Amino acid sequence: MRLVWPAVASLLAASSAWGQRPKVAILDVSVAGDAPAEIRGKMEKSLAGGLYAAGFDVVRRDDVRRKLRAARELEGCTTPTCLAKVEALVGAGQFVRGRVETEGASYTIALELYAAEAAGGLVRRQEKSCTPCTLAEANEIMSGLASTIFVEPKPAKVALAVDSSPPGAAIRVDGVAAGNAPVSIEVDPGDRVVRAELPGRAPVEQKVTVDPAAPPPRLTMTLAPMPAPPPPPPVPEAPAGRYGAWKWVTAGGAAAAMAGGVALIAINGSLTDCPAVGICKSKYDTLLPGLALVGAGLALGGLAVYFILDDKPAAAALVPLPGGAGAVVRGRF
C-alpha cells in the first residue's frame, strides 16, 4: 500500500508541471437508512467539492457510468485489473466510493480511495459519525473526508506503561526523559529503547517493539543493587632483613658501652674512701676501663651501622623543608 503514495505524488508533480490537475473519479455514492432520496445528490456534491479542494479535477459518478456503458462488467469492480481498465476509459488514476448510513438524526459517512497500483485495489478507508447531526453537518463531514483522504495519516501513538522494581526509577525512552516509574508514555510505533536509572542501583535498558495492532505493552524494569567496589590491593610487606633484631641488640650494646665508658672516664681521679673527718685514702683509677668501654662502644656502634645499612642499601633524597631542603637517608629499620 505504501507504494501508492509515491505514484500519487508523481502524478501530482507531473500534472503541476504541465499546468493540469490530476483526475479522480467518483465510482459511487450509496445511501442507506431512512434519509430522503435527495441526500445522494447533496452528498456527491460535497464529495466533489472536497476532492477539488484537495487539488483534483473530478469525474462525476454519472460521467463514469456513461463511459462504462460498453463495459458494464467493470461497474462495481474494484480489483486492480478492473481499475486499470476503468482508468483507461475515464482518464482518472484514482477512484473514490462514498457511503452514507442514516438513522434519524445519526449519520455515518464512509469514504474509500482506490488505485490500480494498490494491493487489492483499496488504498485507504475513512469513516466518521455524528449524533445528533444535521444534513449540513453531514455534508461538511463528507467534504472534509474527501479533502484529507489523499494525505497519509501518521501512525497513532501507543501507550507504553513502565514500572520499576524498586519503584521510583527515572525512565527514559529513546534517550528522552519520561518521568519516574510507574509511568505511562505515549510513544510512536516501532522499536523503542527504555532505560531505567535509580541511585544505588545498576541502570538497565530494554528494547520493546510497539505495535498499534497489539495490546499496549507493559514493562517492569528490575534494577539490581550496585556492586560494591573491590577492596584496595593489600600493601606488600617488606621482607625481613638478614640480621633481624640483632642490629638493634648491637646498637643497644654500643650505646650502653659508650655510656659506661664515658661515666668511668668522668670519675677517673676522683677521691674515694673519704671518712667523715680526715683525709681521703685513695682516688678512682678508671681511665683504662673507661677507654676500653668507649672503644667497645665504638666498635659495636660501627657493627650496628653495618647491620642496618646492609639490610637494605641506603637511599638518599632531598625533600623540601620550610626555609630550604633537607637530606634524608632511608634504610630498613
CA nearest neighbour of 43 among 55, 60, 56? 60
pLDDT of residue 308: 77
Burial 43-62 (b: 16+ CB within 10 A, else e): bbebbbbbbbebebbbbebe
pLDDT of residue 177: 93
pLDDT of residue 18: 41
Q: One-letter amino acid identity for 20?
A: Q
Distance, CA of 81 to CA of 313 (rounded, Å): 101
Q: Where are the beta strands (DSSP E) in the chain?
A: 23-33, 57-59, 94-103, 106-114, 122-130, 158-165, 170-173, 176-180, 183-187, 190-197, 204-210, 218-222, 271-272, 282-283, 315-321, 324-330
pLDDT of residue 281: 67
**CATH code of the domain made up of 4-148:** 3.40.50.10610
C-alpha cell read off for 42: 447533496
The structure's pTM equals 0.45
Distance, CA of 183 to CA of 196 (rounded, Å): 11
pLDDT of residue 333: 44
Q: What are the sequence ranges of the domains in the chain?
A: 4-148, 158-222, 246-330
**CATH code of the domain made up of 158-222:** 2.60.40.1120
**Coil, strand or helix at 97:** strand
Burial 6-26 (b: 16+ CB within 10 A, else e): ebbeebbeebeeeeeebbbbb
CA nearest neighbour of 199 among 164, 160, 163? 164
**Coil, strand or helix at 151:** coil
Q: Rounded to a whole number, what is the largest CA-CA distance in the chain?
A: 172
CB 64 within 8 A of CB 91: no
Q: How many CB atoms lie within 10 A of CB 325?
A: 10
DSSP 201: B
Q: One-letter amino acid identity for 65?
A: R
pLDDT of residue 3: 41
Phi, psi at residue 236, to the nearest 5°? Answer: -65, 135
CB 182 within 8 A of CB 163: yes
Handedness of CA 83, 87, 90, 92 (dihedral sign): positive
**Coil, strand or helix at 288:** helix
C-alpha cell read off for 290: 673507661
pLDDT of residue 300: 80
pLDDT of residue 179: 92
Per-residue pLDDT of the chain (333 residues; tens, 9 = 90+): 444 444 444 444 444 434 478 899 999 999 998 877 788 899 999 999 999 988 889 999 999 999 888 888 888 899 999 999 999 999 998 999 999 999 988 999 999 999 998 888 999 899 999 988 888 998 899 999 988 887 766 667 889 999 999 999 999 999 999 999 999 989 988 899 999 999 999 999 999 998 888 888 899 999 999 888 888 888 777 666 676 777 778 888 888 888 887 888 887 777 676 776 667 767 777 778 878 888 888 888 887 787 777 765 444 444 455 555 444 444 444
pLDDT of residue 316: 46
* 257 to 31, 108, 242, 263, 265: CA distances (angstroms): 131, 122, 24, 10, 12
